[in-house]
């Protein structure tokens, strides 16, 4: 099989995991070029992947003739500009979530993709590839739980990185759950109401560690989402859809139950890399198929944009303490399935 040469921008924890998955576990894609602000780190990952080329300049990497598709896993505030550069080169890109740090920038990406006239962008909402989430989606779509009326999400991180800022709990973390609610219910966000709590674990004065989102979506549906980023004990994500005739909920993918000293316990993963490894792998494998012309079923730039329109409204509500409307534009032809 002819290999497709991938250029990888950003090799922190997430980008390094993608690099190793691509190199060791995905057929048909080769890590050909690597960029990172930390050149030593880029060099290390490049040699892990069989001597990929290292670029100091991400734009030179994107424009390089040998690079056929891009994977962007650099810091969130670089996503929109790098994705726009990929579009200028007419190259497909898998961009880590969020597509941008605000809806205005994500909107510019959508407009640029519409000007190209074909979908080149995939957004890395990995839960859409997670077997537990897919099983919930299939149950909802089968009609077995009746009309879906409520999404209930729980999203807990053990701890936050030191650079965690006030907006990150929404556009870095809750944006996943917003996407899950839209995807699993098949509805769009209309009104949001968000309250936050600052715990003793909070690193900065203006940063909430726990946010509770109440959301009204189209077609008379609702969502409640807890995002708690300093939960301490581990990493946990739960998604439930309540319907008129039943509910479907993800079960933790535990591999064992431990019974010792009169106690039965289940392990909790430490972080998202441990919890969602199967999903990251499935994401890359489906992207590989899409790059060879198969239909693509993951999140599009439009999904990236709408999740940020809702996230912007959530941040506004967190700050105002009041319900806020989220704008919900009509879906352009390019993004209709």
Where along the sequence are the contacts to ligand ISE (CB under 6 A)? 157, 172-173, 176, 229, 272
193 or 272: CB nearest ligand ISE: 272
Nearest alpha carbon to residue 194 among 321, 327, 325, 326:
321
Which region, left, alpha or beta, applies to residue 168 given φ > 0 means left and ψ of -120 to 50 means alpha? alpha
Residue closer to ligand ISE by CB (options 132, 173) is: 173
Q: For residues 45 and 34, is the Cβ–Cβ distance under 8 A?
A: yes
Residue 188 CB contacts under 8 Å (≥ 6 apart), including other chains? 182, 217, 218, 306, 328
In this complex, which beta carbon is closest to ligand ISE, that of residue 58 or of residue 153?
153
CB of 103 to ligand ISE, least distance (A): 18
| Contact indicator for 173, 200 with CB cutoff of 8 Å | no
* Smallest distance, ligand ISE to C-beta of residue 307, A: 12
Classify the phi-psi angles of 28: left when phi > 0, otherwise alpha if psi is within -120 to 50, otherwise beta. left
Based on CB atoms, which residue is closest to ligand ISE, 193 or 228? 228
Report in angstroms how near the CB of residue 127 gets to ligand ISE at its nearest.
Answer: 8
Report which secondary-structure segment, H or E, holds 80.
helix 79-88
| Angle at which helices 103-116 and 79-88 cross, to 10° | 10
Are β-strands 148-156 and 221-228 bridged in parallel, bridged antiparallel, or unpaired? parallel
Choice between 157 and 286, CB closer to ligand ISE: 157
93 touches 9 (CB < 8 A): no
Give the residue with the Cβ less far from ligand ISE, 153 or 172: 172
Q: How far is CA 308 from CA 31, 151, 154, 217, in A?
A: 30, 18, 19, 15
How far apart (Å, rounded) are the C-alpha atoms in residues 49 and 26? Answer: 12
Which residues are CB-neighbours of 70 under 8 A, at least 6 positions away?
6, 7, 8, 9, 61, 62, 82, 86, 91, 92, 93, 94
Residue nearest to ligand ISE (CB): 173
Q: Which is nearer to ligand ISE, 137 or 176 (CB)?
A: 176
Per-residue DSSP letter, 51: S
For residue 149, the minimal CB distance to ligand ISE (Å) is: 26
Measured from the CB atom, is 172 or 304 closer to ligand ISE?
172
Q: Provide, rounded to whole angstroms, the least separation between the CB of residue 16 and ligand ISE.
A: 14
Distance CA 252, CA 257 (A): 11
Which of 64/152 has CB closer to ligand ISE? 152
């Amino acid at each position: 099989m002819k290999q497709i040469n991938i250029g990888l921008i950003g090799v922190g924890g997430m980008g390094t995991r993608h690099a190793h998955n691509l190199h060791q576990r995905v057929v048909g894609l080769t890590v050909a070029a690597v960029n990172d602000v930390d050149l030593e780190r880029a060099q290390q990952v490049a040699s892990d992947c069989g001597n990929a080329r290292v670029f100091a300049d991400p734009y030179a990497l994107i424009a390089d003739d040998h690079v056929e598709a891009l994977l962007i896993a650099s810091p969130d505030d670089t996503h929109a500009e790098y994705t726009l550069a990929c579009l200028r080169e007419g190259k497909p890109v898998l961009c880590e979530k969020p597509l941008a740090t605000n809806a205005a920038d994500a909107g510019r990406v959508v407009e640029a993709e519409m000007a190209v006239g074909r979908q080149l962008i995939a957004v890395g909402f990995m839960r859409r590839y997670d077997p537990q989430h897919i099983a919930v989606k299939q149950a909802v779509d089968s009609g077995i739980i009746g009309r879906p009326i409520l999404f209930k999400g729980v999203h807990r991180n053990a701890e936050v990185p030191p650079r965690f800022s006030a907006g990150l709990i929404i556009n870095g973390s809750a944006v996943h759950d917003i996407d899950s609610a839209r995807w699993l219910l098949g509805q769009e966000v209309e009104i949001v109401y968000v309250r936050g709590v600052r715990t003793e674990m909070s690193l900065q004065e203006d940063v909430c560690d726990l946010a509770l989102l109440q959301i009204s979506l189209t077609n008379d549906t609702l969502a409640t989402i807890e995002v708690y980023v300093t939960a301490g004990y581990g990493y946990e994500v739960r998604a439930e859809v309540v319907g008129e005739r039943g509910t479907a909920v993800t079960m933790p993918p535990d591999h064992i139950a431990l019974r010792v000293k009169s106690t039965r316990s289940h392990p909790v993963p430490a972080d998202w890399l441990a919890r969602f490894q199967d999903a990251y792998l499935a994401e890359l494998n489906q992207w590989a198929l899409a790059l060879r012309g198969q239909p693509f079923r993951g999140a599009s730039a439009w999904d990236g944009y709408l999740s940020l329109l809702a996230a912007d409204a959530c941040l506004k509500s967190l700050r105002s303490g009041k319900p806020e409307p989220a704008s919900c534009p009509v879906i352009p032809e390019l993004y209709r399935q």
